[in-house]
Structure 1
């Protein structure tokens, strides 16, 4: 039984409409569903929550324009128009940033955001996004930061130079907010270090990157093979809670027919994320009709665990409105099982143990320890929690 066959009508409408290309079969299924009674309030909420309003609205009008009730057509049209205006401003800002950085001799690869929408959907207005993500080389960070700040941005974290250097060694990106509050930029120099033991190699991504036409100029972009792995890992990191992350994978597969599936498989096996890739490809193919290359299908066909996890995503999280997506143990168990190698699973356990023992802001505020004694914070934490509860008890 396919993943889509178990969906309620509103969710099924969403999976048929959230794609750039409606084949005759999908269009006919969509028309059939639209001519049946639907909970349009729920369908509207799903479109907003999953970030696919523009794609869905376009396809609903194409498949059966008379089947969309007038009040909902007006609301969807307003959402799509507002999204197009927002994305236009974001795209203009992206180009301003890239032009300035490149003019200063700082190579930059935009990924996600408006660049992703334009490059794999063919339309910057097709996807919802919040911030602008830029990949720069680690050695260029300070120079890039000065350029970004000269354009009206301020660092979200106010750290000294030594603290910033320590941050750069352990984190993946640094956030800047424009003085107008309209734009957020994240400068990245690496991927997934805190999630996977073997990250996508930034140097290899730089070596394989391409330049593509974009808005009357050329723009650097990740090679499709690297981008597919990045999108699969990113969507899986969030347990595919939004259909837009599945759509990213589906549209990349649809748009890049010449993608080197063998190279993707080789890289996925090397990184230990073949199961993650299989989950993403399964969701993209069965929910959104993505054309998964034969070499990927053959290489991933036997991954039964991936299919079970894809079904879990669909039935347990993606379209449920009553689930606590922040519940720790379901999230922990899912990410523990996605890892194919025990050393990666042990690394994941170690990552959470480190988080559990790391001092929090509350711990530091409760008791300021000198650097050489910070190892005592895990001992101090129970005392801090007890004191807090005693104070709460007195207050009540």
Structure 2
């Protein structure tokens, strides 16, 4: 029969789909080992790995800038290097514009009396990387005190940023401004995470306590202390990897770069912090995984002490399934807040449905709610490995 129907146009069977997925996973694992060898300083040859696949995987891991400047990688994969060099050059241009824009934000916040703290990639780019552009990031995360979120929103609006619509109850708003044809999103947080459990551990006051200046960006810019940066990076890594196809290597490089700045006193403060928030086991897990890929960089006894601690509340939360985490988050809210949140997640406004499914008749909305709920449950179970 022709290609418009019949046997020749049959979709692959589930067994064939699984075979393709398994084969791709094997190739990804081989490429990951190849890429990690350069990060660890023990490069291996590319062998039969295809340049296009190397480039795709390097982009996924956020390594374009680091690999394009690695002489061993340049020699081992010259074709892939050319593509990654173009990516790195584009990142560098974007970073010049981003730096200028972030400087304006810092000045405007200071003038308005709004205290802010840089989080995640923005803080790391300017504190622990030789060049900020080597730490690729899609957006800039900043946090303000909850009572100052209104003033912070006004400042961003006055600078020309437009707020994205929020369809689900969250503790952040994304603002975007376009410069030279490039959009620059800023995630304004008044709680450090949309997870209630994590937000209670990493409050604005906690993140700002012991904050350090980020003078490479702006005289008034600050970021959390090194031990808090490491703790937050580990939590972010273990929480977010369930929503991606594995671990991004740039997150592991972040851990190593932060650790390189920490002296013995900072490590003692970090170990004490993990004991306080119940994250010792999770920290040991993440640091071991990073060292397995990148080589040793943590003081010899630090991981042993972290691993020997009793399992705490944060470690249990991060090890839980997605449903387990949601249950723990709901327990942090009162009944009314929990019901409001669940209603927003399960039954978002019709505008949100149209963003996902496109324009649909009103009568189809109940069917789409059911479809959304069913697919959400399937995805959650798949991510949880259950």
> TM-score if structure 2 supplies the norm length?
0.70
Q: State the SS of the aligned residue for 2:302.
A: helix
Determine the structure 2 residue equivalent to 1:66: 75
Q: Contact conserved, 1:88 with 1:124, CA < 8 A, in 2?
A: no
1:267 aligns with 2:277: no
Q: Supply the distance in 1 between the matched residues of 2:111 and 2:69 (Cα, whole angstroms).
A: 38
1:277 aligns with 2:283: yes
Q: Contact conserved, 1:209 with 1:220, CA < 8 A, in 2?
A: yes
Determine the structure 2 residue equivalent to 1:56: 67
Determine the structure 2 residue equivalent to 1:99: 107
Matches within 5 A, 1:149-298: 149-157=157-165, 171-178=170-177, 182-192=183-193, 194=195, 196=197, 198-215=200-217, 217=219, 219-239=221-241, 241-258=247-264, 260-298=266-304
Determine the structure 1 residue equivalent to 2:328: 347
Q: Contact conserved, 1:172 with 1:190, CA < 8 A, in 2?
A: yes
Residue 47 of structure 1: CA displacement?
0.3
Determine the structure 1 residue equivalent to 2:320: 336
1:113-170: CA deviation from partner (whole Å, max 9, x where unpaired): 34421211121111110111112122221112111101101221279xxxxxxx9xx6
| Structure 1 pair 282–78 and aligned structure 2 pair: CA distance change class (3 A) | same
| Structure 1 pair 345–362 and aligned structure 2 pair: CA distance change class (3 A) | closer
1:308-352: CA deviation from partner (whole Å, max 9, x where unpaired): x9xxxxxxxxxxxxxxxxxxxxxx99741699xx9x896258589
Determine the structure 1 residue equivalent to 2:143: 135
1:36-67: CA deviation from partner (whole Å, max 9, x where unpaired): 443322221110111111112212xx226433
1:11 aligns with 2:32: yes
Q: Supply the distance in 1 between the matched residues of 2:341 and 2:262 (Cα, whole angstroms).
A: 42
| Structure 1 pair 215–175 and aligned structure 2 pair: CA distance change class (3 A) | closer
Q: Contact conserved, 1:134 with 1:188, CA < 8 A, in 2?
A: yes
Q: Contact conserved, 2:347 with 2:369, CA < 8 A, in 1?
A: no
**RMSD in angstroms over aligned alpha carbons?**
3.9
Residue 232 of structure 1: CA displacement?
0.6
| Structure 1 pair 36–386 and aligned structure 2 pair: CA distance change class (3 A) | closer
Q: Supply the distance in 2 between the matched residues of 1:231 and 1:334 (Cα, whole angstroms).
A: 13
Q: Supply the distance in 2 between the matched residues of 1:107 and 1:302 (Cα, whole angstroms).
A: 38
Q: Supply the distance in 2 between the matched residues of 1:130 and 1:297 (Cα, whole angstroms).
A: 32
Q: Supply the distance in 1 between the matched residues of 2:38 and 2:226 (Cα, whole angstroms).
A: 24
Matches within 5 A, 1:32-51: 33-34=44-45, 36-51=47-62
Determine the structure 2 residue equivalent to 1:358: 343
Q: Contact conserved, 1:363 with 1:384, CA < 8 A, in 2?
A: no
Q: Supply the distance in 1 between the matched residues of 2:289 and 2:369 (Cα, whole angstroms).
A: 48
Q: State the SS of the aligned residue for 1:214.
A: coil
Q: State the SS of the aligned residue for 1:90.
A: helix
Q: Which 5+ residue runs of structure 1 have no aligned equivalent?
A: 1-6, 19-25, 160-166, 310-331, 367-382, 390-396
Q: Supply the distance in 2 between the matched residues of 1:221 and 1:213 (Cα, whole angstroms).
A: 10
Q: Which shows bigger deviation, 347-356 or 292-301?
A: 347-356
Q: State the SS of the aligned residue for 1:213.
A: coil
| Structure 1 pair 237–94 and aligned structure 2 pair: CA distance change class (3 A) | same
Q: State the SS of the aligned residue for 1:191.
A: coil
Q: Supply the distance in 1 between the matched residues of 2:331 and 2:92 (Cα, whole angstroms).
A: 43
